[in-house]
Amino acid sequence: MKTNKKSKNLIGIIQSFLILILVVLIIFMMIQISRLQGTARVINYAGLVRGATQREVKLEITGNQNEELIKYLDDIFLGLRYQDGHYDLVKLNDEEYQGKLKIQSDYWDKLKTEIEAVRNKGYENTDIVNMSEIYFTMADETVSAAESYSEKIAIKIRTIELLSALDMLILVILVIMQTLKAMQMAMQNRLLEQKAFVDAHTGLPNKNACNELLNKKDIITGSTACIMFDLNNLKTVNDTMGHSAGDQLILNFAKLLCSVIPEKDFVGRYGGDEFIAVIYHTSEAEIKEILKSLSREKERKLGFGILMALLSLFVFNMDLEARKTWATGKHGIKVLILCTGNTCRSQMAHGFMASYGDDVAVYSGGVSAEKRVNPRAVMVMREMGIDISDHTPHQVDEYLNEDWDYVITVCDHAKETCPVFNGKVKHLLHMGYEDPSKATGSYDFIMSEFRRIRDQINDDFFKLYTSMEERK
């Protein structure tokens, strides 16, 4: 991670440096271009001086005086040397050119003196012809110097263009490298996320994804059901037919769930042999139909007899009258679960029994009820997709004047004094469990004890619930 960060910082520094260089190159290029802009005009007028002077000499030899042409040449020289005059000429910052131009300009003054001599004495008595030839050679050298200066600037501009292109190419390469690296990181993150939330064997959401969904309070926006499935005979299949057969069974069952559960709903693998389905905006009739479809299809598609815990959590939004019926126990079996403090075992049993079906009204209490439910009990129950965080411990005395189908004590006979219930009850049962809240040691060990007792309670109370259903 540190190496990647250092590499990223280094690339950033290089990019900043390259951008700075590019800015400098562009500024330098603009300067050179501005220098080059007036050079062509200077070369042109330097050539005009050469030709116009020869014309002036010819006119003077033939006796045709032309003061305007002389003034024209003077103005050009003034503009070339001092960036002055009427022709918008620039002064080239080149020593060789300026030296040649000065020599030519000084010789032009001598040539003008010789032109006056031609007018007074006639050209035969002057050196005008020879001086004209010398002047022409000087003009050629001045033009050549201006052209050489122009070529130097052009070479600089081409060099800057090449350096700028190379700079931009390196920048593009670095950007591409960063983009590819970012894409690679994004792909790695997607793979990590997939590993974190997707079961590799079935392709379904894994336990992490299931818990994340179940911990969202806003998933229940209407009548919503949560069903947990347990392939209880998976170990037998693995032992008798091999792990490959067990793996195939898990895969086939996953496909079966996906084929029966509507696509709009959620299907995930909660554990090794446990699956979960969350069905939104549903009804009791729809859930029963789904379970019937699973029952019809399981033998045909799986090829093995599967024992399923069909319904682990079932939540419905009920109207007021339905809630009253539920509370009075008129809609099914009325169960009371008791222990000492009503904070752990009885609360877990309460949560499991309530989750098996909507035909059981479940309550719990204790002989010395404490202030709140044990947080570790809440945690391990949440792992099963059951939330008991809103449960409140109650005194057993609150229930003495009510009629009960079942009263079940879950305290440990060997270590505790179980509550004695003197109310009206059809079936008084005892299903004793160790108190996990008494466990000592590391955090992991204590949590493992809570999970062990939780699983024992789930197995025993599901069997009890099944027998209740058969008895009805």
Strands laid side by side in the 333-339 sheet: 360-366, 333-339, 403-409, 424-430
In the residue annotation, 226 being an active-site residue is answered as no
Two structure tokens written together for 249 = 């069974």
Locate 250 and state its tokens. 């898990």
Distance in angstroms (rounded) separating the CA atoms of residues 312 and 291: 13
Catalytic-residue membership of 418:
yes
Tokens of 292: 């019937």
| CA separation for the pair 271, 378 (Å, rounded) | 19
Q: Which of 210, 226, 344, 411 is catalytic?
A: 411
CA distance 143 to 41: 11
User: Strands 274-279 and 313-315: what pairing?
Assistant: unpaired
What's the rounded Cα separation, in Å, for the pair 440 and 170?
A: 64
Long-range contacts formed by 10-16: CB under 8 A, 24+ apart: 11/174, 11/177, 11/178, 14/174, 15/171, 15/174, 15/175
344 has catalytic annotation: no
CA–CA separation, 391 and 340 (whole Å):
16
Token code pair at residue 425: 């009850």
| H/E run at residue 266 | strand 266-269
Partnered with residue 3 across adjacent β-strands are none
* Of the candidates 429, 435, 466, 468, the residue with the CA atom closest to the CA atom of residue 449: 435
Catalytic site positions? 339, 411, 418
